[in-house]
A and B are shown apart, each in its own frame.
Chain A
Amino acid sequence: MSTPTDAGPTPSPALPYPDVAVDAESERFWSELGRGRVVLPWCVRCDAQVWPPAARCRACADLVTGERPLPGTGRIHTFSVVHRPAQGFPAPYVLAYVELDGGPVVMANIVDSDLGRVEIGGDVEFVAAAESVPRGAFRFRVV
């Protein structure tokens, strides 16, 4: 077997906050996330999140007027320890899908955690950037 990657802390240095493409429909989501808040656009008619953020609800086509802050807690749906990294990311790091409480399943990273405790179904909480950043990212730690 290749060297197991299921032990030891999730690696440092901290993951970057890439300058991803943002438009009028998604600007608020990204900047709120950068300030440490998970805020999703919410369709009042459907009483449902609009994910990824959009000006109009994909289910009913109403203009989106609501929003909802989420607690930032959830569970790991699946994960991978990525050894051949995306550009600008320091390998290895943990790529994951997280089931957000009260929200969608989102792509994310697991940081700040013992790799041995990173498992499907495990509870996680949102980790804000140390200082406010223009565009945040979904970073979670195991709780």
Chain B
Amino acid sequence: MSGKRPARILGAFEHPGRNLPGRTLQDLTLEIAHGAIADAGLVPDDVEALFATGGYGVHEMLGLRNVRHLDTTELGGASYISHAGRAARDIREGRYSVALIVMAGLPRQGLWFPFRPSPHEAYRNAHGTTLVGEYALVARRHMYEHGSTSEDLAQIKVASSYHASFNPNALLPRVVTVEEVLDSPWIADPLHRLDCCVTTDGGGAIVVVADEIARASARSAPAILAQAEAFSHASNGVYDLTRSLAARSGPRALAEAGIGIRDIDYASLYDSFTITLLLNLEGLGFFEPGAGSALLREGELKAPYGRIPVNTDGGGLSNTHPDYRGGMVRMIEAVRQLRGEANAGVQIPDAELAVVHGSGFSMGTGATGSTAVLQRVDE
């Protein structure tokens, strides 16, 4: 990478809605994009690069006139973390200075942008697979290999609900107990209903800019120090169900940032299910596989004073998982923590370094993983 300073996240906007009847994808995407552009103190004509999972045509929806780089890479829920990394590298190389990354969806209204099915689809559909069922296969294998328990998973939901109780926009703001998680109905044994993330409308966007633009602004703009990604698939029928792709992308991102996992103040980790978050914690190296039980029981995921504060907005488990995709909101909560703008009660004092990890598609069949490292910049 060139000698220029790292790119920065100057704008971030999470739509406050969770159920939005009567809205269209175009209308919602526009509102979200403008929310992030306004937060950056910029105007739409400043946007030179657009990253969106909606495919070709989102620039038309947004009416953007000065876009000269368009990236519609589809990596499922991890997309936006990879988009941020790609934008950050381009900007650091001087290819353009302002990038908008946007996502939106209305699954509660039956509306979302289309995407390509996997070539493996027939082999899954013949057996009545479901996304929860696939993560249940992962969870049971993890219990077998590493001795994790349903209570360990429930503790993850408990911590998320605690964080959500400080978030006025959270879909599920009520604190739950381990017993409530274990008593909630099976969706796919060993995963209960409360092991699953929420389904919400909404979305979010961020604006990534060159360092000199951030310096000219009064707005706090964390730097994107590094980003790396990894992919898995089931071709030839080989699976490693219990190891998150974070074990591959995480070390590369941390090395590029020049830090270790112990330096991280805040972690924004994909939590489509409780097992997703457990595997991401292990994959990034916060603890060895199967060794997190005591730490989870002792509430160490809870901000502001836990050893590993995770998903302080309540995450996908309790706050929002718009369009079945969690990566953007994970990114935005990391920006809030580094700006000192997290909800009162969960702001980590003096948070400087954050790791964000997204897990797209299905850990039970084939997945995408993307890790970013962000740092507060004191001007």
Instruction: Give the B-binding residues of A (Cβ under 8 A).
Output: 1-3, 5, 15, 17-18, 20-22, 26, 30, 48-52, 58-59, 77-86, 88-89, 92-93, 95-97, 100, 103-109, 120, 135-138
Contact = CB atoms under 8 A, between A and B. Distances in A.
Nearest to A135: B126
A95 B188 CA distance: 9
Contacts of A106: 123, 237
B126 A95 contact: no
Given A84-B130, A95-B128, A103-B237, A2 B182 contact: yes
Nearest to A50: B236
A97 B133 CA distance: 11
A55 B141 CA distance: 32
B236 A95 contact: no
B125 A20 contact: yes
A52 B233 CA distance: 11
Interface string B331-347: 00000000000000000
Contacts of A79: 137, 140
A85 B130 contact: yes
Interface of B: 119-130, 132-134, 136-141, 144, 182-192, 234-239, 241, 365
B132 A84 contact: yes
B144 A78 contact: yes
Contact of A120 (B133, B144, B239): B144
Contacts of B132: 82, 84
B261 to A, nearest CB: 28
B188 A2 contact: no
Contacts of A77: 141, 239, 241
A135 B126 CA distance: 9
A105 B241 CA distance: 11
Q: Which label, helix, strand, loop or mixed, suits the secondary structure of the A interface?
A: loop
B136 A20 contact: no
Contacts of B138: 78
Nearest to B235: A58
A2 B144 contact: no
Contact of B185 (A2, A20, A51, A103): A2
Nearest to A136: B126
Contacts of A135: 126
B188 A82 contact: yes
A2 to B, nearest CB: 5
Contact of B128 (A1, A22, A109): A109
Given A20-B122, A84-B188, A137-B126, A105 B133 contact: no
B136 A82 contact: yes
A45 to B, nearest CB: 14
A86 B184 contact: no
Contact of B184 (A2, A17, A20, A82): A2
